[in-house]
Amino acid sequence: MFKTARMRKIRIVTLDEYISPTVSALHEQGLVQINEISDGIQQDPELAELVTPSKASAFTGKLSSLLMKTNNISELLGNSLSEGHGIKDTIKSFISPEMPVPKEVEDLDTEAFINKAENILAQVESETKVIEGKFSALDSETSVLNSNKSLAKSLHALDMDLALLKDSKFTSTTVGRINAESASEIESNLSKLTDELDVFIVPNDDKATAIIVVVTLKEFGEDVYSTLRKFDFERLEVNNVEGNPQQVISNADSRLATIESERNSAKTDLRAIAERWDDDILALKEELENEKEKNEILAAFVQTKDTYMLEAWVPVKDTEKVEQLVEKSTDGHCTFELIEIEGTDDENVPILQTNKGYVKPYEFLVDMYSPVRYNAVDPTVFVAIMFPFLFGYCLTDAFYGTLVAIIGVILVRGMGKIKESMNAFGHILIACGLWSVILGLITNGLLGDFPERILGYRLPTVIPIIESFVHPEVILLIALGIGVVYTNIGFIMGTINDLRYGQIKDAIGSKICWFFLEGGIIFLAAGMLIPTFGMIGMAIGAVLILACLGMLIYANGLYGVMDVFGFMGDILSYARLLALCLATGGIAMTVNILTQLCADIIPYIGIVVAVFIFIFGHIANFLFQILGAFINSLRLHYVEFFSQFFEAGKNKFEAFKSSRTFTKLKN
């Protein structure tokens, strides 16, 4: 519970004819994390003479190509099925997602599987390519029509066939938009170029711009354009457009409507194809990913002429299973070498946490900080106990807590079925919500003071001595007490870690010393407050405090004494629990007061305004406070708690394991 899974390395050697079934068996069971060993082997001269680095299978490139093609088809079919889904469908898919039904697939060798994949893709593409071609043609035509419409709108002032504006064999026609104020000057400049040109200027409706058409001989076309560019001239290209502007717009709109109808018909056809093939394509995509992973992993091995050797991390409890699995896959043609982790040389060992049940989801919060170091204390149990409690302490509102728990249930029953992270987060929210309800009921927090202020009813569950707004000093003392106890737990775990890794000086100067300080404070207080202890208690207290200071100086030098303020800061940081508790209730109370005032003072519409303030005020407070509760509960763990002991590891255990969401192997 407080340690990660014990790990060991295993080296497996087998004949090349058995490597494929061995890799497949390991992949399906997901018991090992395979290491890249070629570099390490090359550093051993004796082994380097015997083996060479292996390479990925020759089928890897083909599998990658097929996977890319499958991804494109899957995206096309998926988009077709999801098109037209509104907010209602999105919410439904979040609350109650449709669970895929795994499709039974055969365990084929790579070459046979590639043939199967090519056949499936050929069948699907024979149906989708026609529709994709139609979409492409319709998109291209739509683009041309929209361009023609835009041109016609720009030239709407010209009541003429736009086809006449195209260049001819001997003439060049330049068309564009100019600033109306520059028209005379432009016309004057153009007239200086040649007598062989005609200029037509037609004002636009906005009066600020005008359309200019310049017709001249081919040889003067570039000169005309160069002259116009000196002014604020926007050229309009007229190509393959016939009819006057109004006719062009009308014809384009008519054709665009027809295109939309044709597109909808094509979408219907594509959706029918998607409904037939989507499950098969998703299953094929998953199979391709698995097969590609199996073929790529060979590059992590080394080989001789007839054998392969692989190295993997395996949990100690699964070692026998792995050996039996490999022996079965190789018909006994294999050998094993087990390598134990010695001493504290464990920095690179992958981490596999072993928490179960209620505690398991809280690994998600620990991993957000860092993986736990192998052999160090795993704090997930403490996080599972304290995080929801601290969250509830910050929120302390039964109604808000109920909403948080409901959100958690929705996550677990919805997206939690598909995503492990959502499932974990949902369970965390349920626990947080329940603690908020419990602490809200006993501290008189339910939508602030709603029961008493609005309903005139006092909650029977309230414990008077810890009612938040009556005895905030009690809430503060409890928060500081929690801080002392939780920080001391951190010191104990930190001491265990330091002693395990031989860091005795650190254990004395950053953990053990604080127990002497706390004991000294207790004896001093007892000597001052209890006559029986008197001078003896104060003397013992003084000795313990001096011992603490001595430890700090011994471990950290003279400036180590300053760490006392850091220790006090860690404890006082738990005072934020009081601040957030009062903030939740205080803002909720303010919303209730404003609600009551609006209902009593504002005539006629006062009740409407009051309801609006009540609903949206509490929604805003709820969102703000749950965010604050979550962040500050995390902070108390990451900064105040973990800093006392946490040993960070480098990586998590990543099992070499097949993905089986849309597929399952036939028995």
Question: What does the alpha-carbon distance between residue 165 and residue 176 come to, in Å, rounded to a whole number?
Answer: 11
* The predicted structure's pLDDT at residue 344: 67
Hey, which of 42-56, 173-187, 254-268, 512-526 has the most confident mean pLDDT? Answer: 254-268
Mean pLDDT of 616-625: 95
* The predicted structure's pLDDT at residue 312: 94
Number of Cβ within a 10 Å radius of residue 502: 11
Residue 46 has pLDDT above 90, yes or no: no
Mean pLDDT of 590-616: 90
* The predicted structure's pLDDT at residue 43: 67
* The predicted structure's pLDDT at residue 604: 83
Percent of the chain's residues with pLDDT above 70 = 97
Choose among 311, 336, 337, 316: nearest CA to 326: 336
Give the least confident one: 144-148, 498-502, 531-535: 531-535
Question: What does the alpha-carbon distance between residue 493 and residue 387 come to, in Å, rounded to a whole number?
Answer: 18
C-alpha angle 121-125-128 in degrees, rounded to nearest 5: 140
Residue 23 has pLDDT above 70, yes or no: yes
Question: What does the alpha-carbon distance between residue 15 and residue 6 come to, in Å, rounded to a whole number?
Answer: 29
Mean pLDDT of 613-627: 95
* The predicted structure's pLDDT at residue 205: 79
Across 206-237, b (16+ Cβ under 10 Å) vs e yields: eeebbbbbbbbeeebbeebeebbeeeebeebe
Number of Cβ within a 10 Å radius of residue 258: 12
* The predicted structure's pLDDT at residue 518: 87
Mean pLDDT of 51-55: 84
Q: How many helices (H) and strands (E) does the chain have?
A: 22, 12
Give the least confident one: 81-95, 310-324, 410-424, 529-543: 81-95
Mean pLDDT of 491-504: 88
Give the least confident one: 35-49, 381-395, 450-464: 35-49
* The predicted structure's pLDDT at residue 589: 94
Q: Indicate the pairing of strand 307-315 with strand 33-34.
A: antiparallel
Choose among 653, 264, 637: nearest CA to 483: 637
- What distance lies between CA 404 and its chain's CA centroid? 20
Q: Do 510 and 487 meet the contact criterion of CB atoms below 8 Å apart?
A: no
Bigger pLDDT: 164 vs 485:
485
Q: Indicate the pairing of strand 209-217 with strand 197-203.
A: antiparallel
Choose among 384, 640, 374, 362: nearest CA to 497: 374
- What distance lies between CA 454 and its chain's CA centroid? 42
At 332-354, the pLDDT tens digits run 999 999 988 876 677 789 999 98
Mean pLDDT of 408-415: 92
Give the least confident one: 18-22, 224-228, 425-429, 435-439: 224-228
CA 307 to each of CA 16, 297, 364: distance values in angstroms, whole numbers, following the listed order: 5, 16, 41
Mean per-residue pLDDT of the chain: 89
Residue 215 has pLDDT above 80, yes or no: yes
* The predicted structure's pLDDT at residue 1: 65
Percent of the chain's residues with pLDDT above 90 = 53
Q: Which pTM does this prediction carry?
A: 0.82
Hey, which of 417-421, 477-481, 500-504 has the most confident mean pLDDT? Answer: 477-481
Residue 48 has pLDDT above 80, yes or no: no
Phi/psi for 310 (5° steps) reads -125, 155
Its sign, for the CA torsion 62, 63, 65, 69, is positive
Token pair 């009593």 in the structure block, residue = 600
At 273-300, the pLDDT tens digits run 999 999 999 999 999 999 999 999 999 9
Q: At 464, which amino acid appears?
A: P
Residue 463 has pLDDT above 90, yes or no: yes
* The predicted structure's pLDDT at residue 125: 93
Question: What does the alpha-carbon distance between residue 155 and residue 200 come to, in Å, rounded to a whole number?
Answer: 13
Residue 363 has pLDDT above 90, yes or no: yes
Residue 453 pLDDT class (50, 70, 90 cuts):
confident
Long-range CB pairs of 75-83 (<8 Å, 24+ gap) are: 76/128, 76/132, 76/270, 76/274, 77/128, 77/270, 77/273, 77/274, 77/277, 77/278, 77/281, 78/274, 78/278, 80/267, 80/270, 80/271, 80/273, 80/274, 81/271, 81/274, 81/275, 81/278, 83/267, 83/271
Q: Do 487 and 571 meet the contact criterion of CB atoms below 8 Å apart?
A: yes
CA 210 to each of CA 6, 192, 237, 415: distance values in angstroms, whole numbers, following the listed order: 82, 21, 16, 59
Residue 64 has pLDDT above 70, yes or no: yes
Question: What does the alpha-carbon distance between residue 581 and residue 569 come to, in Å, rounded to a whole number?
Answer: 20
* The predicted structure's pLDDT at residue 40: 67
Mean pLDDT of 56-79: 93
Q: Do 654 and 350 meet the contact criterion of CB atoms below 8 Å apart?
A: yes
CA 565 to each of CA 23, 403, 543, 561, 568: distance values in angstroms, whole numbers, following the listed order: 57, 39, 19, 8, 5
DSSP state of 648: B
Mean pLDDT of 627-645: 94
Question: What does the alpha-carbon distance between residue 166 and residue 383 come to, in Å, rounded to a whole number?
Answer: 77
Mean pLDDT of 194-220: 87
Question: What does the alpha-carbon distance between residue 470 and residue 463 come to, in Å, rounded to a whole number?
Answer: 11
Bigger pLDDT: 181 vs 287:
287
At 520-553, the pLDDT tens digits run 888 888 888 777 777 888 888 889 889 988 988 9
* The predicted structure's pLDDT at residue 624: 95
